[in-house]
Structure 1
């Protein structure tokens, strides 16, 4: 995510017949035991213990895939009818399991095809199956629900209403406003997304299109990802849109989604994407996914967002004449860089956000240096000057302060953007350019399609440098004061003013 400045697997078999017999044999005992559990322990919200979002995610299971179906009526103020199917493994014995879901009516829940009890608890949907799950069980949860695009003033993200439909912006803690899920980046999964809408609308989602069905004035599009994805990176666009196709490096399919009426004005920007991909491949290796493209939305979000394979941009970024051309292109590169840093290699916790935003900012600035004569060193010196202030107001890069009340995206402060890019600059100064560039390629190769955290980066950097960098990273990532910059002892950081917020 980048805040915009304003110018003004295949499903394993579960031995279903055997499980059905177990269900029947244990029905009476299960019903009694579930009632006793429910009576003794009321449903309660859980979490995986994330430092910044303690109630986000849920323990006890690992999601393998999501199948999401949305039916759009033609009004972006009406709830969508939806069905969410989750295939998962139980990682411990469970009498009940929690899903994150906080904004929609739940009509029914099934576990392995059998009706299940459910209740709301905080921002969780607590599901009680007829039979408890054993560790290692494969389970399918089907939730029939609505997905409401209208929120109160305290909400940010989820469905974004555009001038002609809807798009998604689920970072950092809001995918569960759209669909039931295990809403934490540590639990990535394969997604299949189906969207039905009246004729005249176009729906696009993450991954590649696998089907289009038309019947009785309605079209249904189906998309599927080939690589696992975090819930906060899901994207669905519904609008009166045109999909533009072009080819990137290695015959990569590139598709952009634009409001039809603005197609001509946007095309000069969109045609730059294959060149951006080639530039980044020259820095960090081959693009990690099956497709890429830009979704330009007629909406005022205040940010651009790296939704996987289809980055979300405000149309105004490309049409506001006050933005210099080099700046717009560098922002395009920022979101593209996230496909490697944040999407393919996903943060294990939200405190690891600096790895996403720091790297995206790094390549944004490096692109501006190489193509627009905007020296990286000048930007890093300016960041160094502000670094102590950023640390005082937002925390160190790898230990950011919790979000402000009512503003989940307030974790996106300067300390995780230029403040984190400054850490990477210091690292390059410390270990030398060849080792640093080797580290960058190794990072996105070793952890491709996985999750990784700060400790993993420190370990890999130390291994490539041939020495322990623990103290270096401790000072740069966690200290209240910015350490001296290697190679630039004359750089000074201004004293902080005010209080943390």
Structure 2
């Protein structure tokens, strides 16, 4: 019998350790005073200039002032509290789409310059390793899409929402835009009185003054920047209760409230279903943000998942399929949000698990065979690997198409890896593994290597070789228990699978 895994030490310690290692690895690259400003990164294989070394963000305080029209820039103030992991003459933040008015470091004015997609800040005095620092940036946040870029603010029929995955949060606010550096968020939005603003977490204050309202929200759990969400519009906020008294709130266009209600009322039972599989919901609230916009994707923003209105009010897809997509985004709250990828190459851990529970829900609730879906995925897997890379080593995106990492190989291709693992170790061990995974890494980050080690621990034997072939092989290995399954050499994917990838991510994820 494998031992029950112990909870790891806190996410803050894990993140500080990772940040310290990264800072050490790139210490020679840190900019010396007087040298030209240069963009930095944490060395992500897919996004080499994403994130920044030398510090670990503990908290963001974001303040936006919405002018009443989604065509005009918002005035914004971003405050970052961070712990330094290296001596810093300069501090790099990711920020690429706004005008910076001024910057302070620990309350004192600081010089700043642009370098690539970085905002490079030079404080009056260097900041030494092992100290807290507070950076405040006064800037604009522009809802107009930058040329050649995807993500950031999404214009809706009556306002704005956010879609920051994979690397677009820094189109909205200055940040350390990499999922390895999670932090707490406080988000304040000031908007005209006829608008409603909602953000991640729970509301802490509503202040009305002079024809405007300031809404304040705060997260109780750390969050990756790519999961930040702000909705501003003529919206209605609906409240209901989930399992164990969980507050469930949905944000919908007021005029479509009645049409959306039959879908929204399914959420509490879907949460209960997910809890029966992997344990307690990991956050303080959940709900759907239904945007009156055409995006081509749904997105698992933490505690407030983003959906297109047309998914629910259109007639293109059967009821069971729409419900399974709702579960896909819900599953991400455990897989991807609570347990975030240490690097973007670990994306399969997010999307493979969300696709797995999407498919399992469709089987249990609508009689849609999981085995049949996995057999079809097996037939397409070699093509997916050739086109997009193996599940745990996706090919880099093309220039200007950063969301191109969200290919079928990290959706059904990665769910196929989980199916193979369940076939190899048996259903009881696999189900224990899933629960242990989200418990051990709750509120933290994890890698593919972490998953392989835990799977081996639960199974009571080394699964490194087995999972190496499934996760990194150019060809799909034989499926345990299904010797007759064959991977097709040519042809095209089915329309259903193409739509599956589109709805679950369209490149952005979901």
Task: Say whether the fold is shared (TM-score over 0.5).
Answer: yes
Q: 2:98 aligns with which of 99, 104, 110?
A: 104
Tell me if the contact between 2:33 and 2:89 (Cα under 8 Å) persists in the aligned partners.
no
Matches within 5 A, 1:313-332: 313-332=307-326
User: Residue 132 of structure 1 aligns with which residue?
Assistant: 126
Distance 1:403 1:173 in 2: 12
Give secondary structure in 2 for the equivalent of 1:222: strand
Matches within 5 A, 1:73-112: 73-112=67-106
User: Residue 366 of structure 1 aligns with which residue?
Assistant: 360
Tell me by how many angstroms 1:153 deviates.
Answer: 4.0
Tell me by how many angstroms 1:321 deviates.
Answer: 1.2
Matches within 5 A, 1:176-215: 176-215=170-209
User: Residue 170 of structure 1 aligns with which residue?
Assistant: 164
Give secondary structure in 2 for the equivalent of 1:48: coil
Distance 1:190 1:172 in 2: 19
Tell me by how many angstroms 1:322 deviates.
Answer: 2.1
Distance 1:344 1:480 in 2: 30
Structure 2: which 5+ runs fail to align?
A: 1-9, 11-30, 493-510
Distance 1:294 1:481 in 2: 38
1:16-64 Cα shifts (integer Å, max 9, x gaps):
xxxxxxxxxxxxxxxxxxxx9443x200000000000000000000000
User: Residue 239 of structure 1 aligns with which residue?
Assistant: 233
Give secondary structure in 1 for the equivalent of 2:489: coil
User: Residue 396 of structure 1 aligns with which residue?
Assistant: 390
Q: 1:480 aligns with which of 474, 477, 481?
A: 474
Distance 2:212 2:314 in 1: 35
Distance 2:146 2:222 in 1: 31
Give secondary structure in 2 for the equivalent of 1:489: coil
User: Residue 148 of structure 2 aligns with which residue?
Assistant: 154
Distance 1:137 1:177 in 2: 28
Q: 1:249 aligns with which of 234, 243, 256?
A: 243
Tell me by how many angstroms 1:210 deviates.
Answer: 0.2
Give secondary structure in 2 for the equivalent of 1:75: coil
User: Residue 492 of structure 1 aligns with which residue?
Assistant: 486
Structure 1: which 5+ runs fail to align?
A: 1-8, 10-35
Runs (4 or more) in structure 1 with deviation over 2 Å come to 36-39
User: Residue 28 of structure 1 aligns with which residue?
Assistant: none
Tell me if the contact between 2:33 and 2:90 (Cα under 8 Å) persists in the aligned partners.
no
C-alpha distance 37-429 of structure 1, shift in aligned 2 (>3 A): closer
User: Residue 12 of structure 1 aligns with which residue?
Assistant: none
Count of paired positions = 463
Tell me by how many angstroms 1:320 deviates.
Answer: 1.1
Distance 1:487 1:468 in 2: 19
C-alpha distance 166-472 of structure 1, shift in aligned 2 (>3 A): same
Distance 1:249 1:497 in 2: 45
Tell me by how many angstroms 1:404 deviates.
Answer: 1.6
Give secondary structure in 2 for the equivalent of 1:45: coil
Give secondary structure in 1 for the equivalent of 2:179: coil
1:157-206 Cα shifts (integer Å, max 9, x gaps):
10000000000000001000000000000000000000000010000000
Tell me if the contact between 1:117 and 1:127 (Cα under 8 Å) persists in the aligned partners.
yes
Tell me if the contact between 2:382 and 2:474 (Cα under 8 Å) persists in the aligned partners.
yes
Matched, 1:302 2:296: yes
Distance 2:380 2:187 in 1: 43
Matches within 5 A, 1:10-89: 37-39=32-34, 41-89=35-83
Q: 1:288 aligns with which of 282, 290, 294?
A: 282
Q: Could you state the TM-score of these two structures normalised by the residue count of structure 1?
A: 0.91
Tell me if the contact between 2:392 and 2:448 (Cα under 8 Å) persists in the aligned partners.
yes
Q: Which has the larger radius of gyration?
A: 1
Distance 1:153 1:285 in 2: 43
1:367-421 Cα shifts (integer Å, max 9, x gaps):
0000000010000000000000000000000000001221111100000000000
Bigger mean CA deviation after superposition, 357-366 or 143-152: 143-152
User: Residue 348 of structure 2 aligns with which residue?
Assistant: 354
Tell me if the contact between 1:347 and 1:353 (Cα under 8 Å) persists in the aligned partners.
yes
Tell me if the contact between 1:195 and 1:220 (Cα under 8 Å) persists in the aligned partners.
yes
Distance 2:109 2:121 in 1: 10
Distance 1:319 1:301 in 2: 15
Tell me by how many angstroms 1:312 deviates.
Answer: 0.1
Tell me by how many angstroms 1:496 deviates.
Answer: 4.7
Matches within 5 A, 1:432-447: 432-447=426-441
What do you get for the CA RMSD once the two structures are aligned?
A: 1.1
Distance 2:374 2:483 in 1: 14
